[in-house]
Chains A and B, each alone.
Chain A
Amino acid sequence: MPELPARRGPRLAPRFPPWLFLLLPALSFMLLMYGYPFVRSFVQSFLDAAGRFTLANYAKTWDLYLKDLGFTFAVTAFSTLLTAVLAILLAMYLRFRDGPLARLMGGLYRLPIFIPFVVVAQMMNTFLAPHGLFNLALARVGLVNIEKPLQLFNFWGLSFGFIWKMVPFSVLIIHGGFQMIDNSYIEAARSAGARTGTVITRILMPMSRSSILVALVLVYSQVVGTFTLPYMLIGGKIPTTITVDIAHRVNYFRDFGVANTLGVFSYLLVLVTAIYYLRSSVRRVTEEGAGPR
């Protein structure tokens, strides 16, 4: 086989266009403010007080907080799912209905978005208390004996608070997605014989999949990490959420090892949705990139 002449020409070296340097401030900020604390907390979860590698933090967390981990996941998943259902229903109503009531709803539903969690927590404390407005209202219509009121400073009350706070935020995103779907898609379905239910489940929801997904991921991530509402509603009772446990480990024991381990578990809880979201996004981008063949 004849020997090929050596290729001559400019050396192939990785080239960085100068404008990439413009990214440096933002990149540095992100690495310093997000990347470093994340990596540090992750590493510290494997270290003891003397700085040696250990799995003791994980063993302790497993022993003490397994129930709270399950509770946190259950509250988060339940709140997220119910938020999604209610937000989709409300977004549907706003998408299909016009008139004074729909317009009023369209304005009112956004209010909770602007109320901080600490205020929501205080509201829920009075609203869901044994002799609070909720129990009194149920007692008035005969559904509850006010001598034995519903105890709601638990899973149900916490979920109620999360849903109350997160539904408007989700509606904002999901309704935006619905609004972007041209009426012709709905009309094409209806002219093919589809009734409202079929239009919603087979046309609107699949076509708004990405906005529903974004809403779910954001709600889930926010609920997992919320401290104020569970702290003020449940406090140190068992079970509680891991955010309350983290505060407890740091404030009372200065136990950063277990606190960081609980933090790692909260990352893992969020990681599930993050991976799902990223995979869906990548798949969507890939599919959208496939043009006419």
Chain B
Amino acid sequence: MPQLTLRNVIKSYGRNRAVDDLSLEVREGELLTLLGPSGCGKTTTLRAVSGFVGLDSGHIYIGQREVTDIPPERRGIGLVFQNYALWPHMTVFQNLAFGLQLKKLPAGGIRDKVQRGLSMVQLEGFEHRYPRQLSGGQQQRVALARALVLEPDILLLDEPLSNLDALLREQMRFEIAQIHKQAGITSIYVTHDQTEAMVISDRIALLDKGKVVQIGKPEELYSSPANRFVAGFMGTTSFVQGKVEQSRGETIWVRTPAGLSLRGRGRNLRDGQEVAVAVRPEHVRFLEAPVEGAVGAAPPPEEANVFPARVVRASYVGELIDYQLDLRGSSLRARGEVARAVAEGKQIRIRLDPDNLPVLPA
């Protein structure tokens, strides 16, 4: 499978620059997710790759072939849409066979390919049904099979799970990842759901205002966010504001306005610089049972990042408790075991893991 390359792609709508000098490479057989909030340019980028949106400038290559000015029907792409876009007047078989017939394949070959496609998405026996006779999940699988039977060079998936209910969406994530692995087609997946992106993707490109903010493996974006936007977008994150007090290599000490000294890690920061410390809920550890009247108590000197905090809110979310803590005026999110629940209003001591505390420019 060829790789996909975008070079300096620019696309504007009036004064609004939807894609702003975007360059990226999708490796052979890789599933790259374009992730970002609404209006970040992810769908425009996808549509530019598909050929349905013309570029103001820039180049798109599939393998060594430049496809920038080639019409969509000759690009060799497969498209899966959010609304499935199954043709309602055709049966499942006819939907899958449509593109194969246009390629003028013999009837027997078409039948075999359709059967293989349906088998890949586990919908054997559904050939003669119409889209309206299928559930949302089944329709999405047919849409995927319709794109796959054509054996496209590039597969483009535009928020394909958005119309499904939460339970089915979760199940389909794994199925799509599995089918992609099986088919091995170079793919771009567009979503605004970071959990979905993390489950499905080989790599994620996080977009904001038409630019790639950070690109990398899901765990890289999660654990080493390039900036505050990435940290805020990838999972639940609380930010503690402060100034760089001291730095030694990648170890940074941050002084908060409330006088706390936090140790974290960061790069290219100078002393006195305004920063935000990104705190993930799973990196907040409850040290002990609630302690009455412990507010303001100084942490033991041998332990870094140990602070007193107050439980503002404790919400039961099933397998754990979701806490909102007050850390001397900064709001933190934390999670704890149901068996060791802490009541709202209690004073506790917490430790913030210094190795997992990115310090980012504010």
Of the candidate stretches B57-65, B95-103, B213-221, B310-318, the one touching chain A is: B95-103
Contact with A along B78-103 (1 / 0, CB 8 A): 11011101011100000000110011
The answer to whether A292 touches B102 (Cβ under 8 A) is no
The answer to whether B50 touches A187 (Cβ under 8 A) is yes
The answer to whether A182 touches B85 (Cβ under 8 A) is yes
- In the assembly, what is the distance between CA of A209 and CA of B143, in Å? 23
The answer to whether B98 touches A189 (Cβ under 8 A) is yes
Partner of B73, one of A190, A206, A207, A290: A190
Residues of B within 8 A of A189 (CB): 87, 98
The answer to whether B89 touches A292 (Cβ under 8 A) is no
- In the assembly, what is the distance between CA of A185 and CA of B87, in Å? 7
* Count of A-B contacts judged by CB separation below 8 Å: 75
B37 within 8 A of A: no
A192 within 8 A of B: yes
Partner of B102, one of A182, A184, A193, A206: A193
Residues of A within 8 A of B135 (CB): 292
The answer to whether B133 touches A293 (Cβ under 8 A) is yes
- In the assembly, what is the distance between CA of A184 and CA of B78, in Å? 13
Partner of A207, one of B50, B72, B83, B89: B89
Residues of A within 8 A of B132 (CB): 287-288, 290-292
Within 8 A of B (CB), among A216-233: none
The answer to whether A184 touches B87 (Cβ under 8 A) is no
The residue of chain A having its C-beta at the shortest distance from the C-beta of B89 within the complex is: A206
- In the assembly, what is the distance between CA of A139 and CA of B102, in Å? 46
The answer to whether B130 touches A188 (Cβ under 8 A) is no
The answer to whether B99 touches A192 (Cβ under 8 A) is yes
B70 within 8 A of A: no
Residues of B within 8 A of A290 (CB): 130, 132-133
Contact with B along A154-198 (1 / 0, CB 8 A): 000000000000000000000000000010110111111111001
Given A195-B73, A291-B133, does the pair A188, B150 have CB atoms closer than 8 Å? no
- Count how many chain A residues have C-beta atoms less than 8 Å from C-beta atoms of the other chain: 24
A246 within 8 A of B: no
B279 within 8 A of A: no
Chain B interface bracket (under 10, 10 to 19, 20 to 34, 35 or more)? 20 to 34
B12 within 8 A of A: no
Residues of B within 8 A of A195 (CB): 73
A140 within 8 A of B: no
B134 within 8 A of A: yes
The answer to whether A191 touches B129 (Cβ under 8 A) is no
- In the assembly, what is the distance between CA of A279 and CA of B240, in Å? 69
Residues of B within 8 A of A287 (CB): 130, 132
Given A191-B50, A203-B87, A292-B135, does the pair A184, B81 have CB atoms closer than 8 Å? yes
Residues of A within 8 A of B75 (CB): 191
A283 within 8 A of B: no
Residues of A within 8 A of B174 (CB): none
A202 within 8 A of B: yes
Partner of A193, one of B73, B81, B85, B143: B73
B77 within 8 A of A: yes
The residue of chain B having its C-beta at the shortest distance from the C-beta of A191 within the complex is: B79
- In the assembly, what is the distance between CA of A203 and CA of B90, in Å? 9
Contact with A along B113-134 (1 / 0, CB 8 A): 0000000000000000110111
Within 8 A of A (CB), among B333-347: none
B87 to chain A, nearest CB (A): 6
The answer to whether A184 touches B88 (Cβ under 8 A) is no
The answer to whether A188 touches B81 (Cβ under 8 A) is yes
B11 to chain A, nearest CB (A): 17
Residues of A within 8 A of B71 (CB): 190
- In the assembly, what is the distance between CA of A252 and CA of B81, in Å? 67
The answer to whether B102 touches A192 (Cβ under 8 A) is yes
Contact with A along B242-277 (1 / 0, CB 8 A): 000000000000000000000000000000000000
B16 to chain A, nearest CB (A): 18
B282 to chain A, nearest CB (A): 39
Residues of A within 8 A of B143 (CB): 188
- In the assembly, what is the distance between CA of A290 and CA of B134, in Å? 10
The answer to whether A187 touches B134 (Cβ under 8 A) is no
The answer to whether B73 touches A187 (Cβ under 8 A) is no
Contact with A along B137-162 (1 / 0, CB 8 A): 01000010011001000000000000
B167 to chain A, nearest CB (A): 16
Residues of A within 8 A of B133 (CB): 290-293
The residue of chain A having its C-beta at the shortest distance from the C-beta of B77 within the complex is: A191
Given A198-B102, A202-B98, does the pair A187, B88 have CB atoms closer than 8 Å? no
Given A191-B78, A206-B89, does the pair A184, B83 have CB atoms closer than 8 Å? yes
- In the assembly, what is the distance between CA of A193 and CA of B143, in Å? 15
The answer to whether B85 touches A185 (Cβ under 8 A) is yes
Closest 7 CB pairs of A and B: A192-B99, A184-B85, A191-B79, A188-B85, A193-B102, A206-B89, A184-B81
Given A184-B82, A192-B150, A202-B98, 17 more pairs with CB closer than 8 A? A184-B85, A187-B52, A188-B79, A188-B146, A190-B52, A191-B78, A191-B79, A192-B99, A193-B73, A193-B103, A193-B150, A194-B73, A194-B102, A287-B132, A291-B133, A292-B134, A292-B135
List 7 A-B residue pairs with CB atoms under 8 Å apart, sorted by A's residue number. A184-B81, A193-B150, A194-B102, A202-B98, A209-B89, A290-B132, A292-B134
